[in-house]
Amino acid sequence: MALFFLRHGQTDWNLQRRWQSRNDVPLNAAGVADAGRVAQALAARGDVFAACYASPLSRALATARTVAARVRVAVTVAPALTEIALGEYEGRRESDLRDELGAVYDEWRAAMFTVAPPGGESLRQARTRVRGALAAAAVQARKKNVLIVAHLGINVAMKSELSGDRDPAVLQGFRQANDEVDIWCARRNQRLEQFRAR
């Protein structure tokens, strides 16, 4: 059985390339459609889930509720799945940060959360925060699939925790689009499959 990692549907801030982090930005119309497509894709596959855990932020929770209703599983809110805190970068557009900070911002971006932004959280800190919830979900997933609906950064942190990888080049491969599902083996702690709901 497996852990299914899903990133929330699109928001207006995703379109603006603005860092959302802990800001509670809702899904836009495209994001609602993203969630519906993922729900349809998982239902068509016939995947059965023991549990669905979701970040409390509305963009993830709304996505989780849409998908969970279609695959007939209850949603449990898990505060540990809240997105990585980005401190002074929260709410800022990437283009503005790049204009203001230049190479400093580009280096931070390439480090894939392994370096904390000013006033924010590092990948290591996020891994520590999510460790207990992820371990419990992984135990459940040894018998039946578990769906986890969260965010780009915290999903990267969870996959880093499972795999033991901390190399930014590897972490880049853990990124997900808004309608992308990443399926991981709960026993071998490795990716089995990744697909987009199109």
On the CB side of 59, CA atoms within 13 Å amount to: 29
Amino acid in the structure at residue 179: D
End-to-end CA distance of the chain: 24
Instruction: Specify the pLDDT at position 45.
Output: 95
pLDDT score at 187: 87
Architecture of domain 2-196: 3-Layer(aba) Sandwich (3.40)
Across 26-30, 58-62, 126-130, 187-191, least confident range: 187-191
Can you read off the two tokens belonging to residue 138? 């992984």
**What residues does each domain of the chain span?**
2-196
- Per residue in 33-77, pLDDT tens? 999 999 999 999 999 999 999 999 999 999 999 999 999 999 999
Structure token digits, residue 189: 């702690």
Q: Is the pLDDT of residue 198 over 90?
A: no
Q: Is 166 exposed, middle or buried (0-12, 13-18, 19+ CB in 10 A)?
A: middle
Amino acid at 162: L
Provide the whole-model pTM. 0.97
What SS3 state is found at 23? coil
User: Catalytic positions, please?
Assistant: 8, 83
Strand partners, 49: 145
Over residues 111-148, the pLDDT tens digits come to 999 999 999 999 999 999 999 999 999 999 999 999 99
